[in-house]
Amino acid sequence: MRAGKEVPALPVSTVWGDEFRKDAAYFCRRPRGSGDWLIILTMGGAGLIRAAGAHREVLPGDILLYEPGAAQDYRTAPRAGRWHLLWVHFAPRTSWRPWLDWDAVGPGTRCQRLTGEALPHAAEALRRVRRNCGRSGLWHEELAFVALKEAILWVNQSRESPPTLDPRIEKALGLLRDEYRRPFDLPALCAQCGLSVSRFSHLFRRQTGLSAGEFLELKRLTHAGHLLRLTTMPVKQIAAECGYDDALHFSKRFRRHHGASPRDWRQRHVAA
């Protein structure tokens, strides 16, 4: 890695971030680091960092954390020729400190790999940091901190729950959770995950203990239970909200799963 000219550090007292798409000429070198913390999430291409006297590539899904005063020496990886990154400089709230104890790769330098749903969620949260920190007003700054906290929590969630599922099944679970209101189309779901229906069905049941249809219904009926307890929405509206066109069919499925009709279940739990 070429030495390059030192980039001055301009520490922020709160939070500031951006999204870069850089070519092979991009680098940043701060031997004395900065007075704040710095997060860098690689979204595409690759970066090359120097940590503990050695070079290390950071790839899509890798999230770096520099502590205050830690040497910062990074650039676009020559092999990739481009680097798409999200970055945030910040001064963490005192209560956050235990959440920043990520895997060390050098003095004051940490790195985690995000997998599964943690990566898109953390990336979207960091983009909300960027949108809010550029706006004036106290509440936008607070919203930026809320988004940054969310990103950091997703990193820790990823650390504590290492992926054990086939990534194609993990993708299917994400789609079923996000799109539970839509009509269930097994062939379309299998196609989105790159599997035949027979292979998908076998793999899904082996890894989750349920069929995709059973998992979807569990999600729908669990959500329906929350709506019955926490809202005054009519049963017919809740049925539609949870992906059921027929309120009578919904009531039958709800009774089979929860052991009570939607109305009885609501009365029982609201009274409690």
Q: Determine the residue type at 180.
A: Y
Tell whether 52 and 109 lie within a shared domain. Answer: yes
124 and 22 share one domain: yes
92 and 126 assigned to the same domain: yes
- 199 shares a domain with 109: no
pLDDT digits (tens, 9 = 90+) for 141-157: 889 999 999 999 999 98
Given 136, 160, 184, which residue is the final one in a domain?
160
Q: Are residues 27 and 136 in the same domain?
A: yes
Domain total in the chain:
2
Q: Are residues 185 and 135 in the same domain?
A: no
Q: How confident is the model at residue 162 (pLDDT cuts 50, 70, 90)?
A: low
Residues 206-217 have a mean pLDDT of 86
Same structural domain, 154 and 179: no
pLDDT at residue 271, as a whole number: 53
Q: For residue 247, report the phi and psi dihedrals to the nearest 5 degrees.
A: -65, -35
Q: Tell me, yes or no, whether 9 lies in a domain.
A: no
Q: Which amino acid is at 149?
A: K
**Contact present, 220 and 178 (Cβ < 8 Å):** no
Which of 106-120, 157-171, 213-227, 252-266 shows the lowest mean pLDDT across its residues? 157-171
- Candidates 87, 192, 83; CA nearest to 129 is 87
3-state secondary structure 175-188: HHHHCCCCCCCHHH
pTM for this predicted structure: 0.60
Place of tokens 């906290």: 149
Write down which residue in 160, 185, 203 finishes a domain.
Answer: 160
Q: Mark whether 38 and 73 lie in a shared domain.
A: yes
For the segment 96-117, the average pLDDT, to the nearest whole number, is: 89
5 located within any domain: no
For residue 118, being part of any structural domain is answered with yes
Of 160, 188, 222, the domain-final residue:
160
